Chain A
Amino acid sequence: MDGLFSIVPLIILAPFTGVLINVFFGRKLMPRRDSVAPGVIASSMAGFSFLIAVLMFFALLANPAGAEVPVLTWINVGDGDFTLHIPWTLKVDTLSSVMMLVVTGVGTLIHIYAIGYMHGDIDEKAASRGLEGEEALDFKRRRYARFFAFFNLFLGSMLVLVTANNYLMMFVGWELVGLCSYLLIGFWFDSPEKNEAGQIIGVLNSSAGRKAFVVNRVGDFGMLLAIMLIFWSFGTLEFDDVFARAECMIEAPQAECLTLSAAELAPQGEGEAAAEEHGEGEARALTTPIALGPFAPTLGVVVTAITLLLLLGATGKSAQIPLFVWLPDAMAGPTPVSALIHAATMVTAGIYMITRSNVLYAMAPVSGMVVAVIGGATAFVAASIAVAQFDIKRVLAYSTISQLGFMIAAVGLGGYIAGIFHLATHAFFKALLFLGSGSVIHGMEHGHHHAHGQGEHHDAPHGEDERPFDPQDMRQMGGLRKHMPVTTWVYIIGALALAGIPPLAGFWSKDEILLDASLNSTLVYILLTVAAFFTAFYMGRQVFMVFYGSERTEAARHAQESPPVMTIPLIVLAGLSVVGGLINLPVGGLHPLGRWLEESVANAHIASFNILVATISTVLALVAIGLSYLLYGRKPLEEGEADPLYSTGPVFTFLNRKWYWDELYAAIFVRPYNRLGDFLANAVDWQFWHDFVHDRIIADAFQGWAAILSRPIDLGIVDGAVNGVAQLVESTSRSLRRVQTGYVRNYALAVLMGVVAILAYLAIRFLV
C-alpha cells in the first residue's frame, strides 16, 4: 500500500493540466454558446484529484504514518555551515489528507455547480453590455475558459499549499492561492456593476481584488519574516526537522540540535514519549539562547516571535482582526468563487498553517492565547455585523469571518482537532450556503429578465421604482420558497447546520470548540457563545427574509429554480451538512477524526462531550431562531417596509456600517498614506528634486559645462569613440566574412594552417 503514496503528485498535476488545456484550447472547445467543455474538463480534473485524495486516504488507513514523496529539488545552494535545501516534496499524512479531501471534494462539487452558474452569469453580463451574436459568443468563450482555467489553477495551488512539507513551499502555495483569489475576485474587472439607472452597485470589482491583494500582502509580510526567522534559528524549513530541532533545543544547546533531522528521530516511539516531553517543555521556561547575528534571545522569545508573525500571516489569509476587511469586498467575485475560495478552502489556510505548526505554538503559550483572543473577538465582531446586512452574500461573508474566528480560537486554545473538524464541516455547509445564495441570485436575475421582458404589460407600480434592482438585496426577495423549492430546502439545512442545531454537522464541531474554550478561557468562551447566538439569529433572519413571506419585487415573483447541474451539487452538500458531524462523533469515545489526526498533530488532544455546554449552545441557538421568527417570520416584511432592527437606532447603524472598520482604516492608514504620497510626489519629488535640484542645480550647471566642453570636444572624438567601436566590429565582421570564399580547397588550407600552428606550438614546447 505504501507504493500508493507515490502517485500523489498527480493530485496537483491534474488541475494544472486542466489549466493548460483551458488556457490553450479553452476557446476552441466552445463552438456553440451552450458548450460546456471547458467546465467539464476542469471538473473532471478536480474529480480526478478527489479520486487521488480518496486513494491517499485508503493508503493512510493502511499506514497512518504517511509518506513524503519527493518531486524535484527546487533550491539547493550553499555548503558547509550554511545550506539551503528546499525540495518540492509532497507530504501525505493524516492532516494533509483531511485538507486534500475537503479541498478536492468540495472543490469538485463547486466546479460542477459552476458549469451551470457561469453560463448564466456570463450571458447576463454579455446582455448587460449589449453584446450580441458573434460578439457575445466570443465574449463568452473567453470568459468561460478563463474562469475554469483560474478555478483549476486555484485548486492546484491550494493543493501545493496543503501538501507542502516545508514552510517555503507552503508559502509558494500561499501566494499562488492569493494570486488566484485576486484574479477571481476581479473576474469582472471591467464591470463596475452598474444597474439600469447607471449607479454603481457595491465596490468596483477590480478594486475589491486589489484590496484583497494588498491586505493579504500585509499578512504575507509577517509570514515571510516568520519563515526567515525559522530558518535563521533552526537552519531548516522542513516541518518535521524544524519541530524536531525546536524540541531538541529545549534541552540541549542550539548548536547540538542544528544537524538533527526528523528522519533520524523517527524510530523512537513518538506517541507518548513526545507528549510527555511537551508537558515538561511547556512548564519550563525556554531559556536556551539562540544565536541570531549579534543577538542571543532565548528560545522562548524566538518561538513566540515566530508564532506571532505566523499569526499575522493567518489573520491576512483567514480574514481575522485586524486584516479581515478584504473578505466582504471579495464577494464581488462570482458566487462559486466565494464558495470555494472565500468560504471553504483558501481562507482556512491560516487554520491549517497554525495546526501544522502546533509544536511551535505549544512552546509559546502567550502566542496561543493571543491567537485565541483574536479568533474569539473576530467571531464576535463579525457575527454582530452580519446581523445588520442586507446583501445576501455579505451576510454569508461576515458569517464566514465569524466562523473562521471560531476555528482560529480553537487552534489558539490547542483544540487542533476541533479547529480542523469545524474547518471540514464549515466547508460543507458554508459552500452549500454560498452556492444556495448563488442559486437565489441566479433565480432572481432570471426573474428580473422575465419581468423586464414583460414589463410593458405590467404597468402596476411596484417597489422597483424606489430602489434599483439588485439581485443580492434581501429586501427585494421574499417568498422564494414557492419558486425555488430545492434551493429553499437545502438552504434551510445549511442554515440550521451553521446555527448549530443538533444533529447537523455544525452542532458537533461548534460544540467541540465551545467545550475547548470553556475549559481554557472564560473570556473566549463568552465571546464565542455570544457569537453563536448571533449566528443563529442572522441565519434565521436571512431565511425568513429570503424564502418566507410574500414576494417584494417583480423579480422575486418570477424567480425560477436553477438547473440540475446546479441543484445536484447543492443536494450533495446538503447531505454532507447533515451527516458531516459523523466524522468526529464524540459518542462512545469514538472521535474518528480525532484518532485520525493524532497521527500527525503532535499536540492533539481529544475532548470529551460535555452535555452542559451542548445544552447551553443549543438552547441559545433555538432562542435566537425564535427571536428571528418573532421579528421576521411571524409578520413578514412587506414591500418597502423597513427592517424592524432599525428601531434600535444607532446600534443598527453601527453594525450596518461594520463597526466603521473601513472608515477607521481609511482614517488611520489610507488617508495619511495618500497625504504622505501627495507630499512626497508634489513637494519632495516635484518641487524639491525636479524644480530645484534637477532644473536649477544640475541642469544649469550641466549646460554650463557642456557649453565649455562642447566647443573643443565637439570635433568628433567622443562621438567617434562610441560609434567607432560598433563600426569597427561591423567592418571587421564584413571583412572576415570575405575570408569565406566558398572554395573548398581554401577551407582545407585553413585546416592545414591550423595543423601547422598546433604542431609548431607543440614543437616549441617540447623540443626547444
Chain B
Amino acid sequence: MIPLHWFLLVAAGLFSLGVYGVLARRNAVAILMSIELMLNAVNLNLVAFWRYMAPETLSGQAFAVFVFAVAAAEAAVGLALIISIYRNRETVVAEDINMLKW
C-alpha cells in the first residue's frame, strides 16, 4: 500500500501551489481558483487520514463532503461578487481595485 506520507506530501504540494497562486495571480478569478486548490489539498488530506488512521468512524469522509459543499458556496458567492465588480469597473484585476487604503 502507498504510505500515508506520500499523500500528505502531494496534498502539501497542492496547498502550496494554491497559496502561491493567491499571491502571484493578478486576476481575481484566478485567485479564487487558487483558493479552491487549497481546499482540494485539504480534502486529499482528510480522505487520506480517514483511510489510514480512523477508518472505523465516518468523520473524515463526512468532513470532506462538508468542505466540498462549503467550497461550492464560496465559489458561488465569490463569482457573484467578482461579476458585480466587473459590471461596475470593467476589470477583475485585483491590483486595480484599491480605492480603500491607508
Contacts and interface: CB of A to CB of B under 8 A. Distances in A.
Indicate whether A and B are direct neighbours in the complex (CB within 8 Å).
Answer: yes
Interface centre among A737, A738, A743 (most CB of B within 10 A): A743
A742 B98 contact: yes
Interface residues of B, number: 13
A749 B94 CA distance: 14
Contacts, number: 29
A744 B30 CA distance: 13
Given A740-B102, A745-B22, 9 more contacts: A737-B102, A742-B98, A742-B102, A744-B97, A744-B98, A745-B26, A745-B31, A749-B23, A752-B23
B19 interface: yes
A742 B101 contact: yes
Contacts of A737: 102
Interface residues of A, number: 11
A744 B97 CA distance: 8
A748 B23 CA distance: 7
B21 to A, nearest CB: 10
A76 interface: no
Given A749-B23, A752-B19, A743 B94 contact: yes
A157 B98 CA distance: 59
Contacts of A723: none
Interface string A724-750: 000000000000011011111100110
A743 B22 contact: no
A735 to B, nearest CB: 11
B38 to A, nearest CB: 12
Nearest to A744: B94
Interface in B56-102: 94-95, 97-102
Nearest to B98: A742
21 contacts: A737-B102, A738-B102, A740-B101, A740-B102, A741-B98, A741-B101, A742-B99, A742-B100, A742-B101, A742-B102, A743-B98, A744-B31, A744-B97, A745-B22, A745-B23, A745-B31, A745-B94, A748-B22, A748-B23, A749-B23, A752-B19
A538 to B, nearest CB: 83
A749 B22 CA distance: 9
A738 B101 CA distance: 8
The 9 A-B residue pairs with the shortest CB-CB distance in the complex, in nearest-first order: A742-B101, A742-B98, A744-B94, A737-B102, A748-B22, A740-B102, A743-B98, A740-B101, A748-B23
Nearest to B94: A744
Contacts of A752: 19, 23
Contacts of B22: 745, 748
Interface of B: 19, 22-23, 26, 31, 94-95, 97-102
B95 A743 contact: yes
Contacts of B101: 740-742
A578 to B, nearest CB: 80
Nearest to B96: A743
B41 to A, nearest CB: 14
Nearest to B99: A742
Contacts of B95: 743, 745
A730 to B, nearest CB: 15
Contacts of B19: 752
Nearest to B28: A744
Contacts of A741: 98, 101
B26 to A, nearest CB: 8
Contacts of B23: 745, 748-749, 752
Contacts of A742: 98-102
A737 B101 CA distance: 9
B18 to A, nearest CB: 11
A633 B31 CA distance: 106
A232 to B, nearest CB: 61
Contacts of B31: 744-745
A245 B99 CA distance: 73
Contacts of A740: 101-102
A744 to B, nearest CB: 5
A740 B26 CA distance: 18
A483 B69 CA distance: 91
A263 B53 CA distance: 60
